[in-house]
Every structure is written in C-alpha cells, then in structure tokens.
Structure 1
Amino acid sequence: MAIRVIIKDTDPLLREISKPVKEITPRIHKLLDDMAETMYDAEGVGLAAPQISILKRVVVIDVGEGLIELINPEIIEKDGEQVGPEGCLSVPGVLGRVKRAERVKVKALDRNGQEFVIEGEGLLARALQHEIDHLDGILFTDLAEEYYDRDDMNM
C-alpha cells in the first residue's frame, strides 16, 4: 500500500467525470488499498479516486463503522433532507453548510465484482453523496449555502 497525493480544488482534474471500472483487476485492488491508506493518513471519512488524480468511479468511506469500498457506485434512492457542515480533503481548511438527502440507497460493486446495495443515513448518507459527487466533477463548494473556516465553531 502507498499514500497518494491528494489534489486540491484548483486542479481541473477534479471537474472531470470519472469513467466506470470495466474490469476489476489487481490494479483496482491496489487502488482501493492505497485510497484507504491515504484517507486514513489524512484523517478523512471518504476519498474518491479523482482526488488522487485517477478518473475511475472508485470510492472509499469510513465514518467510524468500518471501511466501505465502492466501485461504480450509483445512488438509486434518496429520501428526506439534512443540512450540515461538510469539508473535503481537496479543500483544506474550509467547511460549508450543505443540504443533502437524509437517507440514500447506493448500488455498487465490491472488490470481488459482486453487486451490493448499501443504505445510509445521517453522516454515512452525507459521505456517500459527497464522494459520488466527486465522480461527477462536483465539489461540496458548488452546493454550499455558507462557508466557514475549520476553526469557526459557530456551525
């Protein structure tokens, strides 16, 4: 495993649409492993492949309940609404107040190519939506209603 460089919001690559993974190979397994190590090293709760300059539809998330790996994730249901603070490893030092669905259902492939469905609410729903947005070239700053410095506790 290796820690990869996380690109910043000024990099135009973050605005590109990622390509679906056509075949799960040892390179995809290595990518998932490297992404998890990179996310944990940066103390994040999610990381999308475009954030490490790879335009593939691959995401890792851990909101404190264990690592979730998603290949070609797709939101198939949304319900409810939540508004809350959001940050991003590619936009260091900034938080924004973002409106998201309270609950989502996501269909994806696991590292073995098996399709699965994950349902999330609260923080997990927010992380799923945030990381899948990255795959479509969308940053939380595009959706934020307000911005704050990370040090501002008045969220």
Structure 2
Amino acid sequence: MIIMKDIIRDGHPTLRKVAEEVAMPPSEEDKKILKSLLEYVINSQDEEIAQKYGLRPGIGLAAPQINVSKRMIAVHVEDEKGKLYSYALFNPKIVSHSVEKSYLKNGEGCLSVDEPHPGLVPRYARVTVKGYNMNGEEVKIRLKGLPAIAFQHEIDHLNGILFYDRIDQKNPFGPIEDGIAIEF
C-alpha cells in the first residue's frame, strides 16, 4: 500500500521528467503499480483509513508522484451529479478537447506540492481521454467538470508539468476567458 511518505515532493527531479510509455500488454509489475495508485486514492477518501495510515486525501495520483517515471494515472472522483469516475489507466492521452475552459474556483492542490500556490488553473471544460485499463484493453472516456480537471491534472504529471505552471503569474486570479467555475 502506498502511504504519504511514498509520494515524492515538489523539487524531486522525477516530477519534471516526461514519463515513459508503458509497453502493452502491461507487465504484472506495472499492473501492481497501477492498482496501488488507485487504492491510494480510494483509501485517502475514506476518513477512517486516511487517519489510520496518515493519508492526505486526493482524487488522483500519477506514477511519477511515487517516483515511477511511467505513464500511469489513477482518478477516483464524482461529478456534480454524483456519478463516480474511478479509473486506473496506462498511457492516457487527451484525444480531443473543448475550446471552452473551466477552472476550480478555489484553485488546485497536489499531493506532491505542500506549499500553497494561490491562483486559477485554466483547463479544458471537456476532454476525451483514451488509455488502457488494467487488462490492457483500450478505454475511451468523455469528461467534463471536476473529472475533466482531475484527468488533465494527472496527465500533466506524465509530462513533467505541475498545476502551478499553468497559473498566470502576473494575474493569478485574473478572469479566464469563457471559463466555467467549478466548485470543489
């Protein structure tokens, strides 16, 4: 089981690397890593388990955050209607996106970033993501709202990008053109 001390922090070189593709079909080792990413996110949202193991709550985790520079992410989040998006993916890619933007009203956070970085993070309002599930089968997911933001945040990790890289440094709370504010 992944615990907080397994998650590397901002400043670690792995967080700034472009992660490598995972060979398909996935190895047993890669499947184990991917499964552990999803388990962490699910467990971190359970108050009792999170407290017992000292887990910081999260809605997503990428392999580079545990110092594994491979293209793997896990997301476990509900949309505004309560629909659960629980995915563990190898080699996820955004294959299409809206022109329209969205952002989290209170800004984003990250399990690898301890210090606050206030500001709005512009994201695409809608994305279509393709990747491979635990069995190596291709999956295509259409997302909007919070799930879309979570997937974009995690895919950024695979490209060595941290959320605060996207904040306008000159005007961190400046308006995001055509942006939809998302509550979280």
Provide the TM-score with structure 2 as the length reference.
0.75
Please identify, of 107-116 and 19-28, the stretch whose mean Cα deviation from structure 2 is larger.
Answer: 19-28
Aligned equivalents of 1:2, 1:124: Cα separation in 2: 22
Aligned equivalents of 1:132, 1:54: Cα separation in 2: 14
Q: Alpha-carbon deviation of 1:137? A: 0.2
Which one of 128, 136, 152 corresponds to residue 105 of structure 1? 128
Q: Alpha-carbon deviation of 1:71? A: 0.6
* Larger relative strand fraction: 1
Q: Provide Cα deviations, 1:78-129, integer angstroms capped at 9, x if missing partner.
A: 1021132211111124253101000000010001010010111010110111
Aligned equivalents of 1:17, 1:129: Cα separation in 2: 15
Answer yes or no: is 1:54 the counterpart of 2:68. yes
1:10 partner letter: G
Gaps of 5+ in 1: 148-155
Answer yes or no: is 1:73 the counterpart of 2:75. no
Answer yes or no: is 1:128 the counterpart of 2:151. yes
Gaps of 5+ in 2: 45-54, 79-83, 174-184
- Number of positions where the alignment pairs a residue of Structure 1 with one of Structure 2: 147
Match of 1:5 in 2: 6
Aligned equivalents of 2:91, 2:60: Cα separation in 1: 15
Aligned-residue Cα RMSD (Å) equals 1.6
Aligned equivalents of 1:47, 1:37: Cα separation in 2: 10
Identical aligned pairs, as a percentage? 41
Answer yes or no: is 1:92 the counterpart of 2:114. yes
2:61 partner letter: L
Work out which of the two has the higher radius of gyration on C-alpha atoms and give 1 or 2: 2
